[in-house]
Amino acid sequence: MQIIRSIAELRAWRKTAGRVAFVPTMGNLHEGHLALVAAARQHAEQVVVSIFVNRLQFGQGEDFDAYPRTFEADGDKLRAAGVAVLFFPDERELYPRIKQDFNVEPPHIQNELCGAFRPGHFRGVATVVAKLFNIVQPDVACFGKKDFQQLHVIRAMVDDLNMPIEIVPVDTGRADDGLALSSRNGYLSSDERAEAPRLYRQLSAIRAALQAGDSNYAALEKAACDELNGHGWRVDYVEIRQADTLEIAHVGEARLVVLAAARLGRTRLIDNIEVAR
pLDDT of residue 118: 94
Q: Tell me what the mean pLDDT of segment 174-195 comes to.
A: 96
Please state the pTM of the whole predicted model.
0.94
- 22 pLDDT above the threshold of 90: yes
Q: Determine whether 32 is exposed, middle or buried from the number of CB atoms within 10 Å of its CB (0-12, 13-18, 19+).
A: buried
* Phi-psi label, residue 170: left if phi above 0, alpha if psi -120 to 50, beta otherwise: beta
**C-alpha to C-alpha distance for 48 and 170, rounded to whole angstroms:** 16
Q: Which CATH superfamily is domain 2-170 in?
A: HUPs (3.40.50.620)
pLDDT of residue 67: 87
Beta bridge partners of 24: 50
State pLDDT tens for residues 219-266: 999 999 999 999 999 999 999 999 999 999 988 888 999 999 999 999
- 161 pLDDT above the threshold of 90: yes
pLDDT of residue 68: 86
250 annotated active-site? no
**Of residues 33, 43, 121, 152, which has the active-site annotation?**
33
Contacts of 201 (CB under 8 A, 6+ apart): 178
Residue 13: pLDDT band with limits 50, 70, 90: very high
Domain 183-271 fold is Pantoate--beta-alanine Ligase; Chain: A,domain 2 (3.30.1300)
Q: Tell me what the mean pLDDT of segment 200-215 comes to.
A: 97
List residues forming the annotated binding site for ATP. 26-33, 144-147, 173, 181-184
Residue 61: pLDDT band with limits 50, 70, 90: confident
List residues forming the annotated binding site. 26-33, 57, 144-147, 150, 173, 181-184
- 134 pLDDT above the threshold of 90: yes
Q: Tell me what the mean pLDDT of segment 7-27 comes to.
A: 97
Domain ranges (residues) in the chain: 2-170, 183-271
